[in-house]
Amino acid sequence: MWSPVWPCITKWLKGNARCPQCNARARKSEIRNIYAKAVKVVDSSERDKALLELQLERDLRKKAEMTANQERLKHMMSVQECERLKRELMEANKLLQEYRCGMKIDVSQSAAKPKVAIFALEKSMEIAKHGGCRIVDVCDLLGMILISQPSINELFPGYGFRKISTLDMKPSEFVLVHQKPIRDMAFHCHDGLVLTASLDKSVKITNVLTNSVVHTYPLDSDVWSCAWDLDEPTYFYAGLKTGDVYLFDIRMTSRYVHELPRYGNRTPVVALEYIKKSSCSSYSKSGPIVGTLSECAFFQRSDHQVPDYKVIPLPTVGPYTSLSSEPISGHFLVSSRPSPKQTRVTHTLCELSVDQSGADVVCNPIQTIQGGRSQLQLTRSKLLPHPDDPSSLLVCAGDEEAHGGDDRTGKSGISGKS
């Protein structure tokens, strides 16, 4: 068999003909022929195909890495844009708060003709066919409404909430959270977190952006109410069926960090509402308002690092059903059911101020609004800024006797049935 190396060897023998290593003389007779036992034809198409696929995968990997870097950069820019919008929103709220600081609710102006807001039904939707929707909470920052409801999937029983966008008012995902009904729900003021209190003896924190439960705090009794600390966003409160109120820190995942002092009878805590520090008021204290079935009090929090509370009873009459506050003005609403002491549903608009000595905080009722003579359901009333008059507040409450709702302004007390 001829080899392409043979002409080179012949040329070398005709020339120097010496070994390049030992310089020994080389002769043509010393060349040995090497014969192959067999010759096999190899198909290299599979190898060529594999090499082509390898190169293709390398190109795809480089493209994927480039796309990932671009998406990572877009995410970083989106986070920065979100932080910028948050700062703008906080600045806008601060300007609105400064604007409303000069406008105090004045009951004596009832002689002037008030501007009555007219509300009309725009859209109705069915959330749960068999009922069970107890709690509604709204987040303006995310443009989202959460409505608690039982699961409609028999394979995954339990209770959770339905998400509704405020842009198109269309329901979207259902997020399963608890095994028993949800008694209370509260959005976090900054992050996409929602706090839920349930009769399954637990408080859970859920991320509404990823629809996943972040953490679960088990307790010894049914949880009836919950509220975030608006001054310290890492803290929240939980009210139990036994009348206990616990302070939690989301940075401590094992248990609560403090138990609030006991006040009144051991009746369930039906409502919790946090009053934040407000520059509009004459006081700078903050703390939760705790409403049980029989008692209602403001727990003034100290400025020390170790939480300490001073209990200030409210001059209202129970049994209580709900609490609501307007954080910019610092006013809050206390609602109670009919009782032998008061024969009608009562909604009392209050504010906190300091006494003449300037040392103690007192609660001043501003206006009392009366509803119907019966209330079988524990419906919740809501205190909102008036859409047409920034100097007024709007009280929205259900009225079982009128088979509808009762909307009143906190300045004039004029109502509109719906």
- How much is the pLDDT for 105? 46
Helix (H) or strand (E) holding 361: strand 361-370
What value does the mean pLDDT take over residues 154-180? 89
Would you say 165 and 143 are in contact if contact means Cβ atoms under 8 Å apart? yes
What value does the mean pLDDT take over residues 385-412? 71
Q: What share of the chain is helix, strand, coil (3-state, %, to 5)?
A: 20, 35, 45
Confidence band for 108, pLDDT divided at 50, 70 and 90: very low
- How much is the pLDDT for 103? 53
Lowest-confidence range among 56-60, 99-103, 250-254, 333-337?
99-103
- How much is the pLDDT for 407? 58
Each residue of 337-363: pLDDT tens digit? 988 888 889 999 998 888 777 677 888
Q: Which of 175, 177, 183 is nearest to 199 (CA)?
A: 183
Lowest-confidence range among 264-268, 303-307, 363-367?
303-307
Round to whole Å and give the CA distance between 388 and 56. 64
Residue the block writes with tokens 């190169």: 55
Lowest-confidence range among 6-15, 56-65, 218-227?
6-15
pLDDT top residue among 169 and 93: 169
Helix (H) or strand (E) holding 76: helix 45-101
- How much is the pLDDT for 178? 93
- How much is the pLDDT for 305? 64
Residue the block writes with tokens 């198909």: 43
Confidence band for 417, pLDDT divided at 50, 70 and 90: very low
Each residue of 136-163: pLDDT tens digit? 999 888 888 999 999 988 888 999 999 9
Q: Using CB atoms within 10 A of its CB, is residue 350 exposed (0-12), middle (13-18) or buried (19+)?
A: buried
- How much is the pLDDT for 8? 77
For residue 338, the SS3 value is coil
Give the number of other CB atoms < 10 A from CB of residue 69: 10
Query: What pTM value is reported for the model?
Result: 0.70
Q: Which two tokens stand for residue 176?
A: 């399963």
% of the chain exceeding 90 in pLDDT: 31
End-to-end Cα spacing for the chain:
106
Answer whether residue 188 shows pLDDT above 80: yes
How high does pLDDT run on average in the chain? 82
What value does the mean pLDDT take over residues 270-286? 75
Round to whole Å and give the CA distance between 17 and 203. 95
Q: Which of 416, 398, 238 is nearest to 407 (CA)?
A: 416
